[in-house]
Chains A and B, each alone.
Chain A
């Protein structure tokens, strides 16, 4: 997420920049990562909070369940 202007923002992905709408993620700040669908940011990606939740499932997903 780079510049923000009203309900539009400039987001970049691998050095490619595109204008997107941020109507439903109004708290977005430059530097945030967002998930975009059809030109609209639908959620802000949240790595830190997510890490806690993911820790909970680590045991379940680490085990090689494929071996059954």
Chain B
């Protein structure tokens, strides 16, 4: 392909393909999109281009902190500092910037993390869409992961896909109305809760762009194992189901910005669930790691089907 298409940004198959065929070969290395570990420091970077910048439940500022904090937590680190880069479009209301930064302040305070350095650039009208934020974060690695095995439990820390669904409605492209707020929040409390489970913790990822389905598919590819989900056990609110049914979207492909998918040895799964509940009341075991197949499937009413990988650019900019 010789032109960049929107579908590359969706976080699904096209992005994987783009990275593997175009990005990594030129850089001469394979880079993980999640946090990297340099010594005992976790280091990550993420860009936030959400449209619209303000949505029910938060703003691009809330996302800029939560997204990066959650990436660090997913790597097993306790987030300590953030760097923030703003690209502002000429003509943007200063008040928008103020409100976004207020959300940054509030969210970083909640997450016990500091914005220690930053940069601001202004570009001509049209060269950026209102406001783009890039956040880089560091943290200290406090958790280790062991190799996943068949039988391991897959847990999600709350109802899924709310951010993606809320953004679809906020984009106003679909003429749907519902009371739906984003689930955007920083999971700063998670590393502490997971400390007692060091020996049994296998893998974690925050299911942002591409959703729970995409991160689990990455898991399957990385470890050559399969995952079997049980639809009835996946927590989801009716409004999200409604939006997905109406638009023909698989909820497992919509982003959550305040959830973690955790793979843990089965003997500790329920214990972990109990400790998660005070912070994340709808945490639930949604499935298990298997090796009779090596991909992602879900069981609905007793019938098992594949969860197909995400393709295409159905979604407007959601994070």
Interchain CB contact under 8 A, B178 and A15: yes
Query: Which of A14, A18, A19 is most buried by chain B, counting CB atoms within 10 A of its CB?
Result: A14
| Residues of chain B contacted by A29 (CB below 8 angstroms) | none
Using a Cβ–Cβ cut-off of 8 Å, how many residues does chain B contribute to the interface with A? 13
Cβ contact within 8 Å between B246 and A18: yes
CB distance from A37 to the nearest CB of B (A): 12
Consensus secondary structure, chain A interface: strand
For chains A and B in complex, what number of residue pairs have CB atoms within 8 angstroms? 29
C-alpha gap A31/B245 in the complex (Å)? 20
Query: Are A18 and B177 within 8 A (Cβ)?
Result: yes
- In the complex the two chains form, what is the Cα distance from A16 to B239 in whole Å? 6
Instruction: State A43–B90 Cα separation when bound (angstroms).
Output: 50
A16→B175 contact, CB < 8 A: no
Residues of B with C-beta under 8 A to A17: 176-178
Q: Is B278 an interface residue (CB 8 A)?
A: no
Measured CA separation A17–B241 after assembly (Å)? 13
A1-56 residues with Cβ-Cβ distance < 8 A to B are: 13-19
User: Within the assembled complex, what's the spacing in Å between the Cα atoms of A17 and B174?
Assistant: 11
A19 contact set on B, CB distance < 8 A: 175
| Closest Cβ–Cβ distance, residue B69 to chain A (whole Å) | 30
- B29 interface residue per 8 A CB criterion: no
Is B133's beta carbon under 8 Å from chain A? no
B179 contacts the other chain (CB 8 A)? yes
Contact with A along B164-208 (1 / 0, CB 8 A): 000000000011111100000000000000000000000000000
Chain B residues within 8 Å of A, Cβ to Cβ:
174-179, 238-239, 241-243, 245-246
